Structure 1
């Protein structure tokens, strides 16, 4: 089963509910997308609203992967920089593939679709992202062509006594 990726799909109730459900399922499966399990839709919705506002303001773009049934199965947000000296790269946030679709190459497909989308943005030369240390996801991003360019030890407090590194990674697009 393959996923079909769409940049900036029309935002309607089905898409919003699909992203919330994806975010909840990824978080509760241990994905490091801003929450620690257990988490429910009531915690995710306010974060999604922040992304939707940034989209409405033109600062953020949404990339969604749909499975063959039309269900939201993957997603990521690409955010433009507002600082005048950093407008040549974008941030990639909240990279998610539904747990039932993991292990089939869809994560690599999502990352390739994000890079293709960013290449289509005027003046963009690179993508930056951050990830939580101790999860192994940095090795996945490295396999997708990203290079570690910074690390802040213990910057992410998952729980009392469980601090993780905040790893910054970069993918040059040129």
Structure 2
């Protein structure tokens, strides 16, 4: 990827930072990724903006500088991907965070958007949120464990067959961690 087309990475930590246009772009991206088979919270495509919109609003409402950050990748002014970094405020687990909804728009795949998002999320987790480790769950059968493994995440367990996508299509949930940040 040339520097001209490198993603511009932005983070948001309050609902008021998300305007109607950005909200629409994020929802549209989520719909496109879901309908392309992405494991991002809606396992049974096709989905519509009417279905994804309420989930996006819940995500926006939960944004908070200490507990939840939204990270966006823009390429030439277009939303190319996004993810959510969260921490549980309970003192026993407040030192680690979880990545949710990691996605790159199908039109931008293979251009380093996912890697740029993951690198930036790691920096935010460490420097801005004072986290010590990041966790994520990935669906087996998608090759995601290889992508995340290349980013330094290690598999720490599996929940065998916990995800039933269709009769006869049960998938493992792969639990991964990145530590230290």
1:63 maps to which of 57, 61, 71: 71
CA shift, 1:88, in A, is: 0.5
The alignment covers a number of residue pairs equal to 173
TM-score (norm 1): 0.93
Instruction: Give, in whole Å, the separation in 2 of the partners of 1:156 and 1:57.
Output: 32
Kindly report which structure 2 residues correspond to 1:154-165, keeping only aligned pairs within 5 A, or say none: 154-165=161-172
CA shift, 1:85, in A, is: 0.6
Moved more, 45-54 or 16-25: 45-54
Taking only aligned residues, the RMSD between alpha carbons, in angstroms, comes to 1.6
Instruction: Give, in whole Å, the separation in 2 of the partners of 1:158 and 1:74.
Output: 24
Instruction: Give, in whole Å, the separation in 2 of the partners of 1:157 and 1:42.
Output: 24
Q: Tell whether the 8 Å contact from 1:115 to 1:173 is kept in structure 2 after alignment.
A: no
The answer on 1:142 being equivalent to 2:149 is: yes
Instruction: Give, in whole Å, the separation in 2 of the partners of 1:120 and 1:166.
Output: 29
Uncovered stretches (5+) of structure 1, i.e. residues with no partner: none
CA shift, 1:159, in A, is: 2.1
In structure 1, the partner of 2:8 is 4
CA shift, 1:172, in A, is: 1.1
SS in 2 for 1:120: helix
Kindly report which structure 2 residues correspond to 1:72-91, keeping only aligned pairs within 5 A, or say none: 72-91=79-98
Kindly report which structure 2 residues correspond to 1:6-25, keeping only aligned pairs within 5 A, or say none: 6-8=10-12, 10-25=17-32
Instruction: Give, in whole Å, the separation in 2 of the partners of 1:122 and 1:62.
Output: 12
In structure 1, the partner of 2:47 is 39
TM-score (norm 2): 0.90
Instruction: Give, in whole Å, the separation in 2 of the partners of 1:58 and 1:142.
Output: 27
Instruction: Give, in whole Å, the separation in 2 of the partners of 1:133 and 1:125.
Output: 26
The answer on 1:93 being equivalent to 2:97 is: no
Moved more, 53-62 or 133-142: 53-62
1:53 maps to which of 61, 65, 71: 61
